[in-house]
Amino acid sequence: MIRICLFIGLFSFCIGNAQTLFVASNSMDSTNSVVINGYANAFYQGQGLSNEFMNKLIFGGYIDDQLKDQTEQKLLNFGNRLAFGFSTGIKCYVATDRLLNNPNWNFAVNADYIELNSSTYSKDLFHLIFSGNADRIGQNMELGPSYINRIVFQKLGLNLAHKSNNCEFGVSFIKGQSHFALAANQLTLHTESDLSAISLETNTYMQSANKRGNKIGAFNGSGFALNFTYSLPIKVKNHQSSSLSKETVATKEIGTITLQMDNIGAVAWNNSPSTYQIDTTYSYAGYEVDNLFNIDNVNWVDENTISDSILPQPRVSNYWTVLPAVFNLVYVSKLTTSHPLGSVAGARYQLNADMKPMIYGGVNIRLHRKLSTSVIGIVGGYGTITTGIRINYSSNFIRAFASCNNVIGLISKKGYGKNINLGLQCRF
């Protein structure tokens, strides 16, 4: 019985881009000369892939047939999503009266490290990797369309922020560490009923830019990225009666709408990257050997010959890739002593990340003058429906938060994915 064990980097542990749904603000005012923001985000999430399955896959453990079958039953025939992510960075805002001769302007420098590995795959591909093709004899296994995209980069940027207009614009230099992309638009495996032959029909495009390795010091590409943030305070008229029975009209702020766009740019991979284009059908029917002791058959299995027959020669040429840009729109109501309960709602999307558009909404609760929390429901992204929570601490000199976009997944092996976001702001 022919059994094919196919392992693709689709299920390898990699780390990717920030997943926090709340937009940070520099929050500089006349009393601050320096504000420093730091953050770290880590997540993995797969549609239909439980934490019990993922923990054994990543950290080791026996995946029995029952767990494989339970996992496969929850997958879609096509378009299943899996992503791993990590990012961390620091941004320092400095107030100065000399910048543009306007005290409302300040500047900031930022340094970030970002990795992202995302993919979409079919149920048959999962079955082939973890169960083989023994039970699919005489049938077609539709392994595609399947896609993998992995990018690792660092950025160093300069930003301008206007305090009174609540806006910020920045540009960053991108150092491309590594990149890998695979697009299998067609990938069909067929095993003959009598086991006489096996064939693979494929139309696959692959790019790789890792000539100088995958470590953080590798410099395989360069590029640029833009970021923009604008916050619009929402104000309503507040009618008040004075002691002279005259009505006065004032305005009060009830919340803020913030638009954020980050990592809008591209990377040129220019250190001898490789590109493969495969559009063919492979068939294998075994070897015919008349005399095993014939000297011509001594080297009948040659790795280089097999490799050359399956993989074409790579085309070495520079190419560009678009960065996984993030678009975030969020409304957060203002919490006060008299109004300790508010709302939060927003939408998020990320390019080149194989994710669905994400929408979310929930409540803000003021627990203490220095402590507040948010609970939200999330639809889309790499899952279906999840629950998120965030805890905020705020004082005159320190602000901090901890949040999770998948509470059930964080605490239960029956959940789907894990997510943690941490942030710290120091004001001087």
In the numeric block, which tokens belong to residue 304? Answer: 């280089």
Q: Is the pLDDT reported for residue 16 higher than 50?
A: no
- Which residues lie across from 225 on neighbouring strands? 172, 265
Average pLDDT over residues 397-401: 94
- Scan for tokens 């959940």, then name that residue: 415
Closest CA to 9 of 181, 144, 152: 181
Determine the Cα–Cα distance for residues 372 and 398; give it in Å rounded to an integer.
Answer: 14
In the numeric block, which tokens belong to residue 70? Answer: 């339970």
* Least confident interval from 119-133, 302-316, 396-410: 302-316
Map residue 111 onto helix, strand or coil.
strand
Side chain identity at 361, as an amino acid letter?
G
Side chain identity at 305, as an amino acid letter?
T
Model pLDDT for residues 348-370, shown as the tens digit of each residue: 999 999 999 999 999 999 999 89
Q: What is the pLDDT of residue 114?
A: 97
403 — pLDDT class (breaks 50, 70, 90): very high
In the numeric block, which tokens belong to residue 8? Answer: 């693709």
Q: What is the pLDDT of residue 13?
A: 28
Of residues 252 and 269, the one with the higher pLDDT is 269
Determine the Cα–Cα distance for residues 90 and 40; give it in Å rounded to an integer.
Answer: 9
307 — pLDDT class (breaks 50, 70, 90): low
- Scan for tokens 């833009």, then name that residue: 226
Question: Going by C-beta distance under 8 Å and a sequence separation of 6 or more, which residues neighbour residue 76?
Answer: 47, 48, 123
Residues 421, 407 contacting (CB under 8 angstroms): no
Q: What is the pLDDT of residue 15?
A: 30
* Buried/exposed code over 351-369 (b: 16+ C-beta within 10 A; e: otherwise): ebbbbbebbbebebebeee
What is the chain's alpha carbon radius of gyration, rounded to the nearest angstrom?
Answer: 27
Distance of alpha carbon 362 from the chain centroid? 23
Model pLDDT for residues 181-197, shown as the tens digit of each residue: 999 999 999 999 888 88
Side chain identity at 314, as an amino acid letter?
P
End-to-end CA distance of the chain: 70
Q: What is the pLDDT of residue 290?
A: 54
Q: Is the pLDDT reported for residue 5 higher than 90?
A: no
Q: What is the DSSP letter of 73?
A: H
Question: Going by C-beta distance under 8 Å and a sequence separation of 6 or more, which residues neighbour residue 212?
Answer: 218, 219, 220, 271
Q: What is the pLDDT of residue 8?
A: 28
What is the Cβ-side half-sphere exposure of residue 177, based on CA atoms within 13 angstroms?
A: 15
284 — pLDDT class (breaks 50, 70, 90): confident
244 — pLDDT class (breaks 50, 70, 90): low
Query: Residue 307: enclosing H or E segment and its boundaries?
Result: helix 303-310
Average pLDDT over residues 321-344: 93
Q: Is the pLDDT reported for residue 29 higher than 60?
A: no
